[in-house]
Structure 1
C-alpha cells in the first residue's frame, strides 16, 4: 500500500511496525557494559570472576578495542588473552583493562557477541575485531600471506625476548625441547619434528631461556635444510630453507640469526 493510500488528507493513519528484538538486546548489552567499572587485565582480577559464560570488552589506554564471548568460562577466556598479550611487543599489560557480563546459557543461543559487534559497528570501528587478535593458528596455507598494515600482528608483533616457561637446565632430547617450547610460549610455534629428534640432545644452560636463545639452540642442532622463521604473529619450523616468508622478520638457520624486513600491505582492514 502506498503512503497516499494510507492518508485521508489529515496525515498517515496506519503504517507498518517492525520490532527488532536482537537490536534491542544488543543495545541493552552495550549499555550494561558501559555502566561497569573497568578492571586491569591481571591475574588477581580474573581470579575473582565466576566460572560462567558471558561477554566481555577489552580496552587499551582506556579506548574500546575488542568485544568477545566466553562459551563456558569468562576467566579462562580472559586469561588466554592475558597470556597472548604478554608475548607481544609495543604493548604494556598495565594499559589493558576489561569489563564483562555473565550471560545465561539460554541467552547464549542469541549470539550476544554478535549483537555487541553489530551495536558497536554502528558507532564506528572496533580495532581488534576481525583484524587477527582472536585468531588461532591460521594454518600452513596462510604462512606466506602479506598482512594488512593495521593487522594486530603488525602493530603488536611477537616478542622473541620473552622467557620460555617450564624449561629446566640440563640435557634435553630435541623432541622434548620442541614440545616444551610450544607449551612455554604465549604465541604459537608450529613445527615438523625432525628425524631422530629423540636421540639429539640440547643443553639448557639456565632457567629463563629466551625464545630467541631457544630457537637459536634448536637451529644449531639441525641440518642446513631446516630453518625456523619468526613471522609477525607466530613461529614455524620446516625443512624448507632458504624459502622466505613475506611476514617473517627473523630466521634461524644452522645457528645463524638472519634479520629481515617483513612486508605489510598499506590497505587497511575494516571490521566486517
Structure 2
C-alpha cells in the first residue's frame, strides 16, 4: 500500500564474522537519527513514517525490505545506513549486514547497487541517502583507481541527494559505549543547534558546510555530498537558530496563521463510509477527532498527495477491526489544497502548532498510520502508548467465505481471510504446501479466531499462526515467540497470552 513519505533507518552494530568488530556507536547513531527525525521541533517526521531496521542479519532481508518500502513511497524517501562499509574485490561498496563475511562482502553484504536499484524503482519525488560508514564516499568519487570508474555514477540518479561520511575510514569513538559515530553525532548537533544566518528551513546543502568544517576542525574524516535536480533544496529540518530576516519566505507567517485558522474552522464529519464516499479524490490535509460531550480531541494529523478519501477509507477500515475504540465516536475534518504538498508539508505546520500548545495528537507517533511495517519489525517491543497496544486487533471479527463449495485449500482460506480482515494478515510467500492442504469449512460465516483454529489444525504442527496486537502472521515455524503476541495457533493447540505492555488496558474477550 502506498505511503507519502518514508524514512528507512538501517543500523548494524553486531556482526557474526570476528573479522568485523561490533560497533556499539552504530546502535547509538541509529537511535540518535530516529530521535532527530521524529522531533516535532526539528525534522517533524511522524513515528508512522520512520522504519527502523536494527541489526538485521541477512543482506537479502535488508534488500527486500528496502525495495518494498521504496516501491510504496510516493513523496519523500530517506535512506540512512550506519555500520561497516566494505569494499569488494571489484571495488564496489557493500553495506555489511549482521551475517556479512569480510572475505565475501559482495556475496554476503548489501551491495550499494541494490540500494541504487531501490532508488531507481521508487516513485518517490524526493530521495535522500545518508551513509555513515567507511568508504561511503566512493559512490560519489571514483577513488578506487583505473577500471573502477563505474563508482562515479553510483549516485547519478534523478531526484536523489546523497550525503556520505568518509571516502576512506570513518571515525568511531573507541571506548565510549554510549557515543554515536562522529559523523552522525556532528550532523545531529548541527541540526539541533541550528545555523545562524541560514534560512528558516535547513536543507542538507545548508547543513553540509557546517558539518564539513566541524569535522575538519576536529581532525576527523570529511564528508561528501552530491545532489541532482532541485532535491538538494528539500527542507530537512527547521532552523532553530533562525531569528527572522528580510529574505523571501515561501510561506510567510501570516499565511501559515491563516491556513491554521481556516483548517480549524472546517466542519467535522462523522467517520463513516457514507461521509467518505461524498468526498472527491483530491489532495490535502486532514485531521481525525475524538468527539465527547465536553470537547473534541485531535487524534491524528496527516496529508495525502492524491486522495484524502482513499486514506480516510483505509483509516476507517483499520479502526473498525480494533478493540477499545468505536468509529462512531470519531470524526474528521479536511482542507483540499492545490500546492505541491511534498514542499509545503502542511501536516508538519499543524503538528508544530499543536505541539507548541502541548496538544500533540495521540496517534501521530503511535504507529497508527503504518500498514505493514514488515517482518523485521515483528519482534520489536511496543510502548504503552502504541496504537496497537491501546487498540489491539479484534479476533472476533466476522469473516464470510463466499466460495462454491465448503471444501477449500489452505491457500484459498488464507486468501479469503487476508481479503476480509481489517488488519494485516501476513502469509509466508511461495509455499506450495498451502495448496496441498485441504479442509472443510463447518459454515460460510466464521469468527476470525475460529477460522485461525481450523486453518492451524489443517496445517499441522510445522506451521504457526501468531496473532500480535497489530497484525497476524502465518509462517512455517515452530515455537517462535513474539513480544507483542496475544494468541498462538499451532496444530490443535491455541495459546492465549497477555503481553506485559497490554496489562494496563487489557485484552477483550473474543469468545
Post-superposition offset of 1:23 = 5.1
Q: C-alpha distance in 1, partners of 2:244/2:345?
A: 27
Q: Deviations over 1:97-139 (max 9, x none)?
A: 0001111144553111222222222122210002110012111
**Aligned equivalent of 2:29:** none
Q: C-alpha distance in 1, partners of 2:269/2:408?
A: 41
Correspondences of 1:1-272 after superposition (within 5 Å): 17=245, 21=251, 24-61=254-291, 62-106=296-340, 109-124=343-358, 125-165=360-400, 167-168=402-403, 170-193=406-429, 194-264=431-501
Q: Deviations over 1:220-258 (max 9, x none)?
A: 011212111110100111122211111001010112211
Residues 257/108 of structure 1: CA separation in 2 closer, same or farther (3 Å cut) = same
- Structure 2, unmatched stretches of 5+, are 1-242, 504-511
Q: C-alpha distance in 2, partners of 1:96/1:265?
A: 23
Q: C-alpha distance in 2, partners of 1:28/1:166?
A: 51
Q: C-alpha distance in 2, partners of 1:185/1:25?
A: 43
Post-superposition offset of 1:196 = 2.5
Contact 1:162–1:211 (CA under 8 A) maintained in structure 2: yes
Secondary structure at the aligned position of 1:63 is classed as: strand
Q: Deviations over 1:146-196 (max 9, x none)?
A: 100011000000001011255446111111211121111110011215442
Residues 38/260 of structure 1: CA separation in 2 closer, same or farther (3 Å cut) = same
Residues 123/224 of structure 1: CA separation in 2 closer, same or farther (3 Å cut) = same
* TM, length-normalised to structure 1: 0.85
Give the number of the structure with larger relative contact order, counting CA–CA contacts within 8 Å between residues 6 or more apart. Answer: 1
Contact 1:148–1:265 (CA under 8 A) maintained in structure 2: no
Contact 1:23–1:115 (CA under 8 A) maintained in structure 2: no
Q: C-alpha distance in 2, partners of 1:26/1:204?
A: 58
Secondary structure at the aligned position of 2:451 is classed as: helix
Contact 2:266–2:335 (CA under 8 A) maintained in structure 1: no
Q: Deviations over 1:12-41 (max 9, x none)?
A: xxx964676365544333321221221110
Secondary structure at the aligned position of 1:147 is classed as: coil
* TM, length-normalised to structure 2: 0.47
Contact 2:437–2:459 (CA under 8 A) maintained in structure 1: no
Residues 155/24 of structure 1: CA separation in 2 closer, same or farther (3 Å cut) = farther
Residues 108/148 of structure 1: CA separation in 2 closer, same or farther (3 Å cut) = same
Contact 1:26–1:118 (CA under 8 A) maintained in structure 2: no
Q: C-alpha distance in 2, partners of 1:234/1:106?
A: 34
Q: C-alpha distance in 1, partners of 2:322/2:383?
A: 18
Return 40-49 or 200-209, whichever deviates more.
200-209
Contact 1:23–1:119 (CA under 8 A) maintained in structure 2: no
Residues 16/55 of structure 1: CA separation in 2 closer, same or farther (3 Å cut) = closer
Q: C-alpha distance in 2, partners of 1:56/1:143?
A: 29
